[in-house]
């Protein structure tokens, strides 16, 4: 019960402080940020200068009321714990659907990866705001061909006790929400998770109650559910929030009548808060709380809450994707974002996170696993405030590795 009181208190603090204190300071902060846009530099400016091309100011979204699109496309070699070396194409297309001053930026983020582990990953995430911010449309579409590892259930699992798995995966998530009050939205959605061609090379140390075989191994699973969604969001730019708060609550009801293999329900609570520190410096303290809870029933193994499988695959930096899995997940992360160069081209971050999951035998939360690290930010597009993100994280048992993103982690 203390956990739920904490969640309720956190939401109330966000809504009350952000609606009044932040709103009172918004006009000054936005004006300062807009005036400084022409003084900022991104990677395109650097390219022009290095090629002796005369500087010219790109279409200014503030002074000329450009609706965009503002494109950030990137092809690069990368590395991650779950993929090993990878070839990545990533793109962010940001745009406005309104010329109002308090408009919110819409974005489409796509990622296409092929890896040294013979994994094929296609992801498209969308966050669309309609005119006057009346509706918010959210999408998360994916296809995976994904040989990888699983480590069993709970917080007390070990890196040395893993099982090889292989599967294909289709995800189709869509949510439509309408404005019911200032910065508050509610609506319905649909979530589909389809895993097929599932194979497992068993490891006797984690099978049974701690592995995929607890409820009988299946070569395919299907989860289909209607979602109820409520959101508070007073950020103007979700690509790289400079201040404000975000709270999203999603209740998902998977039923056999909608195609699910079995009935189960879940709840996801996603809370974020951004504090300028020092004031007017452009540096940010960012706080993220993410809870993924199973309320009733038993989800398929690969649909259980786990680190690294949130909307943008960002929980659990410092650990391999899917490192911790269980019936319930509580996650907390804090990050400090700071400028390295005055013109905004380069920035840095330091972060620390913690996660705990329920144990398979008692359903009580196990030990807390910590992660930490640092990162570099390179401005790709100053008009949409899009950064290319390079992070290096550390975890327990010697876990460590790089992660890459286009847009901030949260």
Model pLDDT for residues 214-223, shown as the tens digit of each residue: 656 789 999 9
Burial of 132-164, coded b for 16+ CB within 10 Å and e otherwise, reads ebebbbbbbbbebebebbbbbbbbebeeeebbe
Span 55-109, pLDDT tens digits: 334 433 333 457 878 888 888 888 888 888 999 999 989 999 888 777 899 999 9
Per-residue confidence band for 383, with pLDDT thresholds at 50, 70 and 90: confident
Sole residue written with tokens 């309408």:
178
Span 243-298, pLDDT tens digits: 999 999 999 999 999 999 999 999 999 999 999 999 888 899 999 999 999 999 99
The larger pLDDT score, comparing residue 51 to residue 84, is at 84
Q: What is the mean pLDDT of residues 173-185?
A: 96
Span 284-312, pLDDT tens digits: 999 999 999 999 999 999 999 999 999 98
| Domain range list for the chain | 2-406
Would you identify the CATH topology of the domain 2-406?
Porin (2.40.160)
CA 20/CA 385 separation, integer angstroms:
25
Burial of 407 (C-beta count, 10 Å sphere; 0-12/13-18/19+)? buried
Span 320-376, pLDDT tens digits: 999 999 999 999 999 999 999 988 899 999 999 999 999 998 889 999 999 999 999
What pLDDT, on the 0 to 100 scale, is given for residue 38?
A: 62
Reported as type and span, the H/E element at residue 173 is: strand 163-181
CA 64/CA 61 separation, integer angstroms:
6
Q: How far is CA 329 from the centre of its chain?
A: 15
Nearest CA-CA partner of 381 in 240, 263, 252? 240
Q: Are 189 and 175 in contact (CB under 8 A)?
A: yes
What pLDDT, on the 0 to 100 scale, is given for residue 16?
A: 45
For residue 225 the two structure tokens come to: 């559910």
What pLDDT, on the 0 to 100 scale, is given for residue 51?
A: 60
Percent of the chain at pLDDT > 90 equals 63
The rounded mean pLDDT for the chain is 85
CA distances in angstroms from 260 to 139, 146, 176, 257, listed in the order given: 20, 22, 22, 7
Q: What is the mean pLDDT of residues 161-179?
A: 95
CA 67/CA 59 separation, integer angstroms:
10
């Amino acid at each position: 019960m203390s956990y739920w009181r904490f969640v309720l208190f956190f939401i109330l603090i966000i809504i009350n402080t952000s609606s009044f204190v932040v709103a009172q300071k918004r006009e000054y902060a936005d004006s300062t940020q807009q005036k400084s846009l022409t003084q900022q530099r991104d990677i395109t400016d650097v390219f022009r200068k290095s090629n002796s091309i005369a500087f010219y100011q790109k279409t200014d979204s503030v002074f000329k009321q450009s609706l965009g699109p503002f494109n950030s496309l990137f092809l690069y070699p990368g590395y991650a714990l779950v993929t090993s070396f990878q070839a990545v194409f990533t793109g962010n297309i940001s745009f406005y659907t309104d010329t109002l001053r308090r408009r919110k930026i819409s974005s489409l983020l796509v990622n296409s990866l092929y890896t040294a582990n013979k994994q094929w990953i296609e992801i498209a995430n969308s966050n669309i705001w309609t005119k006057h911010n009346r509706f918010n449309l959210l999408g998360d579409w994916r296809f995976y061909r994904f040989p990888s590892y699983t480590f069993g259930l709970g917080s007390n699992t070990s890196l040395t006790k893993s099982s090889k798995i292989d599967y294909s995966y289709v995800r189709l998530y869509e949510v439509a929400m309408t404005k019911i009050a200032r910065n508050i939205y509610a609506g319905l959605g649909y979530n589909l998770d389809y895993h097929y061609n599932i194979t497992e090379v068993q490891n006797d140390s984690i099978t049974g109650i701690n592995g995929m075989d607890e409820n009988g191994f299946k070569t395919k699973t299907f989860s289909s559910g209607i979602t109820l969604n409520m959101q508070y969001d007073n950020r103007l730019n979700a690509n790289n929030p400079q201040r404000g708060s975000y709270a999203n609550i999603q209740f998902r009801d998977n039923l056999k009548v909608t195609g699910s293999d079995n009935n189960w329900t879940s709840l996801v609570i996603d809370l974020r808060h951004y504090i300028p520190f020092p004031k007017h410096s452009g540096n940010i303290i960012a706080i993220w709380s993410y809870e993924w809870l199973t309320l009733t029933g038993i989800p398929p193994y690969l649909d259980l809450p786990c680190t690294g499988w949130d909307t943008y695959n960002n929980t659990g930096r410092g650990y391999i994707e899917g490192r911790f899995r269980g019936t319930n997940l509580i996650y907390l992360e804090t990050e400090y974002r700071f400028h390295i160069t005055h013109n905004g081209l380069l920035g840095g971050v330091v972060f620390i996170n913690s996660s705990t999951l329920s144990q398979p035998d008692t359903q009580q939360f196990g030990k807390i696993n910590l992660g930490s690290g640092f990162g570099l930010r390179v401005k790709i597009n100053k008009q949409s405030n899009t950064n290319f993100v390079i992070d290096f994280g550390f975890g327990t048992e010697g876990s460590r590795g790089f992660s890459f993103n286009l847009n901030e982690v949260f």
